[in-house]
Amino acid sequence: MNADATFPGAASPDAADPILSVRGLEKRYGERIGCTDVSFDLWPGEVLAIVGESGSGKTTLLNCISARRAPSAGTVSYRMRDGVTRDLAALGEAERRVLMRTDWGFVHQNPIDGLRMRVSAGANVGERLMAVGDRNYGRIRATAADWLARVEIPADRIDDQPTAFSGGMRQRLQIARNLVTHPRLVFMDEPTGGLDVSVQARVLDLLRGLVADLGLAVVIVTHDLAVARLLSQRIVVMKDGTVVEEGLTDRVLDDPRHPYTQLLVASIPES
């Protein structure tokens, strides 16, 4: 099934324009600053990594640009499928919910936050298809089975609930649930953070392949610079809520210029 066909106006607009634009973004919690004066563009098919230690503001930034938190100042603009760029703050709640269910994906660090744990694996994937208008049970089940195979979940587990899955399988199921509608933009919050090293490698390899195959635009938050290097073309380094360095991933990690970035790179264990 071509999920794009279920969206009206799904023709690709001019890829010369960014899909996401952030300008002067700030989020305050009372006197505490979550992030401040953040600006960047994200282009179609680009993977941007936001890195930093715990408390650096990277998760606050992710929540603001994915419309999960309202910023205190600044703007976040998204280029819709019809080519019109709109300020997310100007969208109604119903419009934002539609974006989250169809055009966007959000992969949580803890898959429990991104799955319905008491319905089957197939139903978790099928719900997203229903959100874009598919009502044919046979087609939904076939598409769900295809996506479970793509994320290396055996076909005979389609009717099992995620409560019966391992942590790695749950994360792969969450990935399938998010990608089945062919979203244009996916947000990822430490997608391998809670997994064993061997499982992390498997999930990262899967993510890298799917992102490339589908041409997704991705914003990924991670404290792991190895994850950033593997998945992203561009990187933003945050400290105390501000961006201290940004640029092409290989350039920043091979030749860090800010002392904080140098410290992060120096802390990577020797392989």
Residue 271's pLDDT band (cuts 50, 70, 90): low
Which residues fall within 8 angstroms of residue 215, CB to CB, at 6 or more apart? 44, 45
Whether 12 has a pLDDT exceeding 90, the answer reads no
Whether 5 has a pLDDT exceeding 90, the answer reads no
Whether 10 has a pLDDT exceeding 80, the answer reads no
Task: Kindly report which listed range (13-27, 217-231, 234-248) carries the lowest average pLDDT score.
Answer: 13-27
Backbone angles phi, psi at 83, to 5 degrees: 90, -5
DSSP element (H, E) containing 23: strand 20-29
What CATH number was assigned to the domain covering residues 3-266?
3.40.50.300
Q: What does the angle CA 79 – CA 85 – CA 90 come to, to the nearest 5 degrees?
A: 110
Which tokens go with 213? 């195959």
Give tens-digit pLDDT for 33-53.
999 999 999 999 999 999 999
Task: Kindly report which listed range (133-142, 145-154, 173-182, 255-264) carries the lowest average pLDDT score.
Answer: 133-142
Mean residue pLDDT of the chain comes to 90
Kindly report the pTM of this predicted structure.
0.90
Averaged over 82-106, what is the pLDDT? 92
Q: How far apart are CA 190 and CA 106, in angstroms?
A: 11
% of the chain surpassing 90 pLDDT = 80
Using CB atoms within 10 Å of the CB of residue 30, give its burial: 0 to 12 exposed, 13 to 18 middle, 19+ buried. Answer: exposed
Averaged over 64-80, what is the pLDDT? 95
Domain boundaries, the chain: 3-266
Q: How far apart are CA 5 and CA 24, in angstroms?
A: 36
3-state secondary structure 235-271: EEEEECCEEEEEEEHHHHHHCCCCHHHHHHHHCCCCC
Whether 14 has a pLDDT exceeding 80, the answer reads no
Whether 126 has a pLDDT exceeding 80, the answer reads yes
Q: How far apart are CA 16 and CA 205, in angstroms?
A: 29
Residue 133's pLDDT band (cuts 50, 70, 90): confident
Residue 70's pLDDT band (cuts 50, 70, 90): very high
Whether 270 has a pLDDT exceeding 80, the answer reads no
* Amino acid 15: pLDDT: 56
* Amino acid 164: pLDDT: 96
C-beta of residue 129 within 8 angstroms of C-beta of residue 143 = yes
E-strand stretches of 17-80: 20-29, 32-42, 47-51, 73-79
Averaged over 160-189, what is the pLDDT? 95
